[in-house]
Chains A and B, each alone.
Chain A
Amino acid sequence: MTVRFVFDAAAGLAILFACVMVVHRNPIKSVLALVVSFFALAVTYVLLAAPLIAAVQVIVYAGAILVLFLFVLMLLNVPQEVRQRPDRPIHQALSAGAIVAFAAALLAVLRGYGVTPAIPVAEPPPPGDLTPVAKLLFSDHLLSFEAVSILLLAALVGSFVLARREGSP
Chain B
Amino acid sequence: MSDASRFAELCLPHLDSAYNLARWLTRDTQDAQDVVQDACVRALKYVGSLHGNDGRAWFLTVVRNAFYDWLARNRPAEVVHDDNVTVDAAADLATPGPEQVALRNAELRVLGDALAALPAQYREVLVLRELEELSYKQIASIVDIPIGTVMSRLARARGMLQRSPVLYAIGGQTARSAP
A and B assemble together: no
B residues whose Cβ falls under 8 Å from a Cβ of A: none
A residues whose Cβ falls under 8 Å from a Cβ of B: none
